Amino acid sequence: MMNKINPKGLLRWIAFVSFLGAGTFIAKAQTITIPIETKQNAMVLQVTPEKYLETVYFGNKLSDKNEYSAIAGSYRYNLTTSDYNSAYTTSGSLNLLEPAISVTHADGNKSLDLKYVNHTITKLTDDISLVSINLKDSVYDFEVTLNYQTYFNENVTEQWSVIQHHEKHDVVLNKYASANLYLRAGSYWLKHFHGDWAKEMRPEEEQLTHGIKTLDTKLGSRADLFQPPVFMVSLNEQSTEDEGEVLCGNLEWSSNYRIDLEVDPSNNLRLIAGINNYASDYVLKPGIEFTTPKFVYTLSDKGKGEASRNLQTWARKYKIVDGEGPRLTLLNNWESTFFDFNEDRLAGILKDTKTLGVDLFLLDDGWFGNKYPRNDDHAGLGDWEVNKAKLPDGIAFLTKTAQADGVKFGIWVEPEMVNPKSELYEKHPDWIVKQPQRPEYYMRNQLVLDLTNPKVQEFVFGIVDNLLTKNPDLAYIKWDCNSIMYNANSAYEGHQSNFYTDYVFALYKILDRLRAKYPKMPMMLCSGGGGRVDYGALKYFTEYWPSDNTDPVERIFIQWEYSYFYPALASSNQVTNWGKEPLKFRTDVAMMGKLGFDIVVGKLTPDELTFCQQAVKTYKQFSEAIWHGDQYRLQNPRENDVASIMYVDTLKSTGIMFNYLVNNRYGVGSNLPIRLKGLEPDKMYAISEINLFPGTKSSIPDGTYTGRFLITVGVNPDVKDGRTSVLIGIEEKK
């Protein structure tokens, strides 16, 4: 016979024997079962007789709650070694698996064994509930509270941990995950993303095999440059847009993260998500609570489409700033002027903003620095005084001119960074992240400021606060972050290994302060493109910049993948001169999110200008569906010659369908009708092509159809060479 020793089983047996020896009678211990439910799903946790907290189920919920306690027996999770289904895997004692938490106690001991103490369930609103479960070590005064905040109607859960100890001295957290999930399926398919500058969100999907696959980043500030903290896991088979079980997750952390996915020997999936412990052993003082970032996820049994709509709805309602509010269309000057502008040129662009019909002009990089003027990206970063040569009358002149033109005014900042060629660098060398004994190393000629230093926090807060206080008419901020963190080291932080983590806490502290003072100010989260997009940061922003790559064909792919995690109103899109596609194509693609332009309006032909003006109006007409409606992906650009996507408002009365030719081969186009989704089968809808370029006629007839027809048969947008981008308006006929 094989030697099968489960250390916990052995303990259970010992406990049972000693209990009998005591000669006392206790009725069979009652199993504590904790179901954590949303409208669709349940995660079921159970406390073993030895008080270990285990995950016994995660899937469709049951109608009879009493049946949850029978799940564990059906699945038989117990393995010969450790507890693979621990709800928060410890290390150094009985568990010998990849841990969720690993510590070094004040006395140097490295063992942790957490047992269930109690739990509370709090209904925070009709929709939101919080389950908090307290776990404690029996030897050391060390505890963890696991939190599960559910958003019932959205089928979304946010999970995080609060770690605390009362040992005599500091404890070191060697790993401190937010969540430790356990899923059961026949096979697991991981969809994850990689990229680089201008190459964001390139997907890969593969079957997970036994062992650990880790998604992570170690880049610090512009952390997601190569890999963002988002992923999907399909259960049993690769889920499609509308079929299959799929988990969609995002770690709400704007820096180094680590997500371990381990298929265990029983074919279950252990998933551990949290801050990356790389170079980040966290020194925790007694009595201080360490709150991990939240890991947000949704589970759908109707494919990736529904999962993404769950997250999008949740984000609009609960996470993104003013997610249920409107967005400002804008004209940006980055690509039309770069650093080369002055008051006259900007006054002209302000007039163009009005002519175009958008709401706001966004002044980008290059408006500051005097001793070291910001005339290119080598100098001036950190010196946030208006450049007197370019803008002698200051920002106030620009906001006033904008007001006179009837448009709003916004401005770019990059407050976390500094050029070595700057007064800030000269004055405060100790404010900069660098290794004292090593040469400086730059990305885009700049370094990162040490936000852990309270003086730097004050400075960074002040950059935005001063702008807004001195210019109360400022209506928009673009917050950029262009460098990753080389030579991570702080002149301020007592424990260097706390630095990566404390940097992000400090960033959030600054943003918390700004949001307390300016709760609804529209702010764009930018990081040299999409180098920092996650819900930890988006909690403070109204939108994000997906990529510097605005080639519309590329953008179809990039925006498509982002949309699995983020709602369209948060995607800042701009019409630029990137790519070879006509202006209409570029504009149509930008309309699939938050519309903006970065072009020289004066160079547009009269027809092009008329088209853009009309497009802004059309966009506003359909913005309710795009911003706050439901998004349905109809044809994937990676699998079809024609990509198609639609949005329909929550009343299911107004919709818009976007169609693009994404293949240049001879004769390709939309040969078959494309089936619409999300409409009411029994309603009547008028269909017509919209956003036509002046002088062109639609090749598809207007018509009125039942929702059932449009869902079952569909619409052929007649996309082909010469009609490479086609928008269709859908209006309910009453």
User: Where on the chain is the footprint of ligand DGJ (CB under 6 A)?
Assistant: 334, 364-365, 412, 480, 482, 526, 528-529, 545, 548
Q: How far is the CB of 640 from ligand DGJ (least distance, A)?
A: 30
Q: How far is the CB of 333 from ligand DGJ (least distance, A)?
A: 10
- C-alpha distances (whole Å) from 584 to each of 105, 201, 274, 587, 690 are 63, 24, 43, 5, 11
- Rounded-to-integer distance, Cα 711 and Cα 646, Å: 12
Distance from chain centroid for Cα 566 = 6
Q: How far is the CB of 385 from ligand DGJ (least distance, A)?
A: 18
| Minimum CB distance to ligand DGJ smaller for 342 or for 712 | 342
Q: Are 53 and 83 in contact (CB under 8 A)?
A: no
3-class SS string, 184-208: ECCCEEEEEEECCCCCCCEEEEEEC
| Minimum CB distance to ligand DGJ smaller for 36 or for 417 | 417
> Quick one: tokens of 201?
């969100």
Residue type, 109: N
Give the angle 155-157-160 at the CA atoms, nearest 5°: 180
* Residue 706: strand pairing partners: 684
Q: How far is the CB of 619 from ligand DGJ (least distance, A)?
A: 21
Q: How far is the CB of 521 from ligand DGJ (least distance, A)?
A: 18
- Rounded-to-integer distance, Cα 418 and Cα 693, Å: 45
| Minimum CB distance to ligand DGJ smaller for 183 or for 413 | 413
- Rounded-to-integer distance, Cα 436 and Cα 88, Å: 39
Task: Report residue 55: phi and psi, to 5°.
Answer: -95, 120
Residue type, 236: N
Q: How far is the CB of 591 from ligand DGJ (least distance, A)?
A: 19
Q: Which residue number is nearest to ligand DGJ in terms of Cβ? A: 365
Q: Give every CB contact of residue 619 below 8 A, 6+ residues apart in sequence.
A: 329, 591, 595, 626
| Minimum CB distance to ligand DGJ smaller for 182 or for 545 | 545
Q: Which segments of 364-456 are extended strands (E)? A: 408-413, 417-418, 447-448
| Minimum CB distance to ligand DGJ smaller for 249 or for 596 | 596
| Minimum CB distance to ligand DGJ smaller for 229 or for 530 | 530
- Rounded-to-integer distance, Cα 271 and Cα 183, Å: 8
Closest CA to 398 of 315, 333, 447: 333
Q: How far is the CB of 414 from ligand DGJ (least distance, A)?
A: 7
| Minimum CB distance to ligand DGJ smaller for 484 or for 625 | 484
| Minimum CB distance to ligand DGJ smaller for 352 or for 548 | 548
Task: Report residue 553: phi and psi, to 5°.
Answer: -70, -45
| DSSP helix/strand/coil, 603 | helix
Q: How far is the CB of 91 from ligand DGJ (least distance, A)?
A: 41
Q: How far is the CB of 97 from ligand DGJ (least distance, A)?
A: 41
| Minimum CB distance to ligand DGJ smaller for 225 or for 299 | 225
Q: How far is the CB of 476 from ligand DGJ (least distance, A)?
A: 13
Q: How far is the CB of 377 from ligand DGJ (least distance, A)?
A: 6
* Residue 246: strand pairing partners: 234, 300
- Rounded-to-integer distance, Cα 728 and Cα 687, Å: 7
> Quick one: tokens of 294?
């939240």
| Minimum CB distance to ligand DGJ smaller for 100 or for 533 | 533
| Minimum CB distance to ligand DGJ smaller for 365 or for 689 | 365
> Quick one: tokens of 337?
């002027």
